[in-house]
Structures are given as C-alpha cells and as structure tokens.
C-alpha cells in the first residue's frame, strides 16, 4: 500500500496542474461520448428497423411516387404477409422550428405492421375517424397536446391548412422506437387533393411490406421489383434497414468527419497527459535519482511513474463517466426534435476505460524512459 | 586501524567526463584503501573530484579505468540492476541537502529502503522505530520534511541511511547546509554510528571541523589524491 500512497501523493502534488489535466481528460472523454452518441443516433432509425419489413419506392427516386394500384399486386406476391403504404406529408405546426416527421398512412395496415403501444380505445378512435391523427409520446409532451385536441398543420408539399383531431398517443413497445412522429389517414390526404392536385391522386411515396420469413428478404424484394419491371414506375425494394441507411449515407461525409474528430480528441488528451507527466517527472528527477541511489531498480521507478499517470487518467475516466450521463441527457433533450433517439450506449464506457488506460500508459512512456535512463549522479545534480 | 581488513580497495582509478568533443579528466590514477570500521574523510576544494570519487565507491557512477572492490566485490563489473541490489544491501547514503521525499513523512522516508527487503510491515515498523530512537526523532515521525528543521531532516536522512544495516555509510557534505549546532549533532551521530555500530563512514567535506571527527583524512586536488 505504501508505494500506492506515494504515487497517489505524487499525482496530486501539483494540484492545479493535475486538476487541469484530469479536467481535460474528462472533457475529452465526454466530448467523445457525445460525438459517438450523435453518430449512433444518426443510425438509430436503421438500427431499430425490423428485419420483417421491406420498403418499396420508385426506382428513380423517392421524389417520384408509385401508383396505389401496386398494393394488391404486392399483396399477392409469395412471402408477403402484409402491405401498407404512405406519403411523407411535410406539414409544419405553427412555425418551421417546430419540425417533426408527419406521414399520411393507411392506418389499419400500418398499425398491423408496426407494433406501437396505444392505450385502449384510442386505437379504435384513430381507425374510425378519417381526420384522426396519432402522435408519439414525445411529441405530445413537447407541445402539451391532449387527446381530442384539434391540430392544424400547414402543408408544404400539399398546400393549405390541414386540420386533424388527435385521437391517440403511441408509445414505444420494446426497444428504441421514435416517439416523435405524427400519423394521419392517407384517405384524408388523397380525397382532399383530388380537386387541387389531381395528378397526385392515388399515388403513394412508399410501400412497406411485411414478410413472414426475414431470411427470404432478398427473394421477396426481387419478386416485387420483377413484378413492376418495365412498367412506368419501376420499384426499388430493399430492407427497412437499407432504406434507412440510404438516408444516413447522404450524411456519410459529416459522420466520417465526426468520427475523425472524436479520435483526434483522444490523441489530444494523450498529448496533454504526456506533457503533464513529462513536467512532473522532470521536476522530480532528483527524487527518482535518490530512489535509484537507495537501490530501487528500473521497474519500481517505471511503476511509480506509470501508476501516477494512470491515477490521473483513470480519475479523468471516472469523472468522464459521471459527467456523460447528465450531459448526454441534456443534449438529447435539446436535440430531440431532430434526433429523437439520442440514447447513450453504456458500452461506450468500456471505451472510456480502454482509452484512459492507453492515455495513462502512453503518457508515462517518455518520462519513465528518461527517469530510468538518466545517470544517478546527473539526476542528483552532482556532475562537476 | 591497523590489522583491520580493507573494505574499499581502489586501484589506478580514473574517471573522465565528455563535454562535446572535449574529454575532461576528473580523477587520475587513484589508489586508495579504506579499512572496515574506519571513519574516513575526503577533503578538497570544489571541483577536485571528491564527490565523483564518493559516487564511484558507492556504485552510483561508472569508472573509466582501474578497479574498485568494495567488501571484496569488484563493483565495476556489476550491471545497473546488480549495482542497485548491491547498493540497497551494502551502502547507506547521506546527502548535503538531505534528499528526503517531500510527500512522505519522516517515518515513511526512513522506511523507504526497507520496501526492497522481504520484511513484513510489522518488522519494518520495528526497524523504523529503532532508527527513530537512535536519531532521537520519535516525536517527529509523522512530520513531513517541510515541517522539520535542517538538522532534523539530516537526522531522518541518517536514519534512512542505516535502516538496512549497511556496512558502509557514504556522506557527501553532510553538514554543508546546517548551522553549527545542528552540524555538531549530525557529526556526533555519525561518530556514534562508527564507534557503536561499527559502520564504515566515508565522508566528503571541506569543513575542517567535520573532518576532525574522522580517523583518516585524505586530500584530493585536481583529481589527484595527495
């Protein structure tokens, strides 16, 4: 215990410097944690997608719709257990900053394919009324809505003010489900635009296809696409995960940049910790020379320096873990409009531990080497 | 001292330092024998090479020529690791500026060399208590170096030097940083180590009053033993 006491006392001998070094490690780890959580939340849609679902869209681009008539043909394809469809509505609630995802969907088939938890009675109310809407729990909390409220969205793709009656609130069942979305009846959209936008009537943006066997995803997708091959609107069918990833891939460069920055952060803390240890050991080189004089060999000296470095880096790690929870929680709340699933993956703390160990070891290498290699007489300042 | 067997035997020792392209001779052709149980003092002006000679005898510096035998072992052939073990077992050190570890209290500073032995915690405590009694610092064992006077710090250093019961105690200007009274205390203590415990004391000093305590006094000038 005595050497442990010595290295801990050494670590905190220059309190301000040690505190600042620990703080820099803490901030760097928290920054790393935030950046990694950000990246994970970016992929959250893909990560939480079901292997039992495929998404079919126009092969040219998502901007081009597909005829509603495809629904019956898809339903008859071997391996398909259910089909639903929908449109991205893109409505604005009061002002643009209140952004949330809103879709027109075929409600009955949609709720068959998506296992949302909806309180008793609300599901039936949503299905019954063509102007009914279903909103996620987070969205309700964000705007203080209540079931029965009239909600008006201003259409961007489909012009006009669109009024809905909030019929129900959905909750995430098991796992991570985006609870900040808004759904209403596709029929309401289709009937309303019949006069104003007749060319878009009976067209949908996407089909969501349920499968009995996820192992046959490729075969079922091929069958869907082959069915509409050489038609005016060919389809591109892919797994829900691939569909979600196609959105993420648009931001691939940004994500790569964030990954790079998060690694640079680790390199920077290595440099900071190394600098601290070099300064500490340089100041105490005489003391290490005394220890060597007394008979302490290279390994005890290395042990003291490495231990001191690890005390500092692991203190930063502990503080980093403690701070990451409230910081990511606060950021998650702030960004919940844009990144609804901003959830800290606790496995990142394994990385914190590994990075701190690495920083502690790397920071000790140069000073330990110097302390061991310096001749005792020189260390004692005795060279004539 | 006649009849005592030699504990330090130095033959034709030479030591150089290299500064850039120049080679500076520090010690030249030194031949010296120190008997077991002797209180030996090495005097000389600053830069004469006396501390370098002390370092070589204590195994904390490497010679360039000749040989040094201490207790019958030619230490010039020992590796760094072997030298470290040898020093821990055979040599106690007293420095001019005490060289205590500031974050350890007096007890812990004295205990430090014992960590290299296989003694239990209880045994170490007994040894340290005995050493504290010897240097008359029992009441100051929990004090840190910064809370002790120069004389007290040097007494802690003396206790640390003898805690492993080495045959030789080397002291480099042990009174150089002390007032007259404290210096006298330290010298008396060193004299007791020699006379009562039989330690061989090799002391470097340029203080004639310190040298008076020694049985043998030799002068070193410009790297040559007079």
Summarize the confidence of residues B105-133 as an average pLDDT: 94
Q: Which segment of A254-258, A347-351, A365-369, B160-164 scores lowest on mean pLDDT?
A: A254-258
Report CB contact under 8 Å: A9, B103.
yes
Q: What is the mean pLDDT of chain A?
A: 90
Q: Residue B206 gets which letter from DSSP?
A: S
Is pLDDT above 50 for A100? yes
Q: Tell me what the pLDDT averaged over chain B comes to.
A: 92
Does residue A13 belong to the interface with chain B, where contact is any CB pair within 8 Å?
yes
CB < 8 Å to B109, chain A? none
Q: Are A30 and A165 in contact (CB under 8 A)?
A: no
- Fold annotation for B6-225: Rossmann fold (3.40.50)
| Cβ atoms within 10 Å, residue B164 | 20
Residue B15 burial (10 A CB sphere; 0-12, 13-18, 19+): buried
B127 touches chain A (CB under 8 A): no
For position A383, what pLDDT does the model report?
A: 40
User: Whose CA is closest to A18, among A285, A245, A316?
Assistant: A316
What's the pLDDT at A49? 78
Higher pLDDT, B22 or A321: A321
The stretch A59-76 carries a mean pLDDT of: 94
Q: Which residues of A touch B80 (CB under 8 A)?
A: 297-298
Pick the closest to residue A75 from A193, A209, A198 (CA basis): A209
Q: How many CB atoms lie within 10 A of CB A154?
A: 15
**Statement: residue A321 has pLDDT above 80:** yes
pLDDT at A248: 75
* Gap from A298 CA to chain B (nearest CA, Å): 8
| Polymer length of chain A | 384
- Higher pLDDT, residue A337 or A56: A56
Question: Tens digit of pLDDT for each residue in B176-215?
Answer: 888 889 999 999 999 999 999 999 999 999 888 889 999 9
What's residue A177's pLDDT? 76
**Residue B83: closest CA among chain A residues belongs to which residue?**
A295
Look at residue A251 in the predicted model and tell me its pLDDT: 75
The ranges assigned to domains in chain B are: 6-225
Tens of pLDDT, residues A36-48: 898 888 877 677 7
Tens of pLDDT, residue by residue over A8-35, are 999 999 999 999 999 999 999 999 999 9
Mean pLDDT of the region A233-258: 86
Residue among A141, A40, A41 at smallest CA distance from A341 = A41
* Rounded mean pLDDT, A211-239: 93
Asked if the Cβ–Cβ distance from B103 to A297 is below 8 Å, we say no
Exposed/middle/buried for residue A172 (C-beta within 10 Å: 0-12, 13-18, 19+): middle
| Predicted confidence band of residue A196 (pLDDT cuts 50, 70, 90) | confident
Contact in structure between B218 and B32 (CB atoms under 8 Å)? yes
What confidence tier does B84 reach under pLDDT thresholds 50, 70, 90?
very high
Range with the poorest average pLDDT among A134-138, A175-179, A183-187, B196-200: A175-179
What mean pLDDT comes out for the span A170-198?
87
Q: Is the minimum CB–CB distance between B87 and chain A shorter than 8 Å?
A: yes
Reported as a pLDDT band with limits 50, 70 and 90, residue A51 is: confident
> Touching check for B79 and chain A: CB below 8 Å?
no
For B70-85, what is the mean pLDDT?
A: 92
As a residue count, chain B comes to 226
Closest CA to A100 of A378, A340, A310, A266: A340
Q: What is the pLDDT of residue A384?
A: 39
What is the number of alpha carbons within 13 Å of residue A367 lying toward its C-beta?
Answer: 28
The distance of Cα A351 from the centroid of its chain, to the nearest Å, equals 16
H helix count then E strand count, chain A: 15, 11
Give pLDDT, residue A111. 93
CA distances A335 to A36, A145, A175, A261, A342, Å, are 15, 20, 20, 20, 8
What tokens does A197 get?
A: 């936008």
Cα(A291)–Cα(B100) distance, integer angstroms: 10
Tokens of B102: 């500031």
Confirm or reject contact between A253 and chain B (CB < 8 A): no
Q: Give the separation between CA A157 and CA A162, rounded to whole angstroms.
A: 12
User: Is A293's CB within 8 Å of B93's CB?
Assistant: yes
Residue A327 CA to residue A279 CA, distance in Å, equals 32
Contact of A207 with A85, CB cutoff 8 Å: yes
What is the C-alpha to C-alpha distance for residues B155 and B161, in angstroms, rounded to an integer? 10
Looking only at the bridges linking them, the beta strands covering A182-185 and A102-105 are parallel
Q: Is A176's pLDDT higher than 70?
A: no
Q: What is the C-alpha separation between B96 and A93, in angstroms, rounded?
A: 81
- Of all residues in chain A, the percent with pLDDT exceeding 70 is 97
Structure tokens at B100: 């205590």
Does residue A255 have a pLDDT over 60? yes
Mean per-residue pLDDT for A197-209? Answer: 94
Q: What angle do CA B121, A306, A275 make, to 5 degrees?
A: 140
**Confidence at residue B2, expressed as pLDDT on a 0 to 100 scale:** 55
The Cα diameter of chain B in Å comes to 54
Kindly tell me if the per-residue pLDDT of A357 is higher than 90: yes
Contact A213, A79 (CB under 8 A): yes
Nearest CA in chain A to B172: A382
Q: Which of A341, A359, A269, A322 is nearest to A37 (CA)?
A: A341
Residue A109 CB contacts under 8 Å (≥ 6 apart), including other chains: A82, A83, A84, A85
Best residue of A291, A299, A308, A384 to probe chain B, by most B CBs closer than 10 Å: A384
Give the residues across from B217 on adjacent strands.
Answer: B41
* Contact (Cβ atoms closer than 8 angstroms) between residue B30 and residue B13: yes
CB pairs under 8 A between A and B: 72
Interface residue A159 vs chain B (CB under 8 A):
no
| Terminal-residue alpha carbon distance, chain A | 38
Min mean pLDDT across A81-95, A199-213, A245-259 is at A245-259
Element (H, E) at A52: none
């Amino acid at each position: 215990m005595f050497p442990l006491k010595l290295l801990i006392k050494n670590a905190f001998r220059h309190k301000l410097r040690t505190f600042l070094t620990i703080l820099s490690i803490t901030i760097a780890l928290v920054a790393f944690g935030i950046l990694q959580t950000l990246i994970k939340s970016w992929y959250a849609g893909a990560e939480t997608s079901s292997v039992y679902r495929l998404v079919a869209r126009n092969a040219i681009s998502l901007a081009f719709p597909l005829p509603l008539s495809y629904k019956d043909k898809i339903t008859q394809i071997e391996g398909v257990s259910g089909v639903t469809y929908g449109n991205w509505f893109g409505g604005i609630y009061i002002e643009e900053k209140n952004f949330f995802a809103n879709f027109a969907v075929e409600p009955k088939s949609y709720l068959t394919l998506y296992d949302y938890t909806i309180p008793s009675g609300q599901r039936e109310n949503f299905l019954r009324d063509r102007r009914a809407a279903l909103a996620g729990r987070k969205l309700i909390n964000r705007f203080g809505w209540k079931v029965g409220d009239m909600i008006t969205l201003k259409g961007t793709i489909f012009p006009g003010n669109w009024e809905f009656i909030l019929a129900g609130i959905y909750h995430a069942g098991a796992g991570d489900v985006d609870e900040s979305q808004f759904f209403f009846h596709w029929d309401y959209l289709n009937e309303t635009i019949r006069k104003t936008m007749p060319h878009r009537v009976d067209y949908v943006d996407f089909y969501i296809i349920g499968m009995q066997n996820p192992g046959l995803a490729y075969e079922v997708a091929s069958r869907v696409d082959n069915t509409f091959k050489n038609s005016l609107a060919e389809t591109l069918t892919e797994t829900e995960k691939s569909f979600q990833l196609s959105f993420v891939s648009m931001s691939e460069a940004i994500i790569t940049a964030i990954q790079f920055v998060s690694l640079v952060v680790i390199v920077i803390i290595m440099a900071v910790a190394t600098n601290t240890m070099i300064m500490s050991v340089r100041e105490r080189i005489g003391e290490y020379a005394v220890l060597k004089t007394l008979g302490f060999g290279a390994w005890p000296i290395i042990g003291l320096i490495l231990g001191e470095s690890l005390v500092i880096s692991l203190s930063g790690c502990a503080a980093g873990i403690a701070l990451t929870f409230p910081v990511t929680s606060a950021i998650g709340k702030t960004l919940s409009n844009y990144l609804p699933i901003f959830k800290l993956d606790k496995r990142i703390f394994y990385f914190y531990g590994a990075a701190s160990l690495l920083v502690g070891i790397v920071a000790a290498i140069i000073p330990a080497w110097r302390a061991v290699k310096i001749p005792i007489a020189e260390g004692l300042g005795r060279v004539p | 001292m006649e009849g005592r067997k030699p504990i330090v035997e130095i033959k034709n020792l030479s030591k150089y330092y290299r500064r850039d392209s120049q080679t500076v001779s520090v010690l030249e052709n030194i031949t010296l024998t120190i008997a077991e149980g002797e209180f030996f003092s090495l005097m000389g002006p600053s830069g004469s090479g006396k501390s370098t000679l002390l370092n070589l005898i204590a195994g904390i510096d490497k010679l360039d020529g000749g040989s040094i035998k201490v207790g019958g072992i030619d230490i010039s052939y020992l590796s760094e690791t072997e030298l470290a073990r040898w020093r821990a077992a055979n040599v106690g050190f007293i420095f001019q500026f005490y060289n205590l570890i500031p974050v350890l209290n007096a007890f812990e500073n004295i205990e430090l060399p014992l960590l290299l032995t296989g003694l239990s915690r209880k045994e170490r405590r007994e040894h340290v208590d005995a050493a504290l009694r010897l240097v008359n610092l029992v009441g100051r064992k929990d004090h840190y170096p910064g809370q002790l006077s120069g004389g007290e710090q040097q007494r802690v250093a003396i206790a640390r030097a003898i805690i492993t019961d080495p045959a030789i105690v080397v002291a480099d200007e042990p009174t150089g940083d002390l007032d007259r009274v404290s210096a006298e205390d330290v010298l008396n203590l060193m004299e007791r180590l020699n006379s009562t415990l039989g330690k061989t004391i090799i002391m470097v000093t340029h203080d004639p009053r310190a040298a008076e305590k020694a049985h043998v006094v030799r002068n070193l000038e410009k790297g040559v033993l007079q």
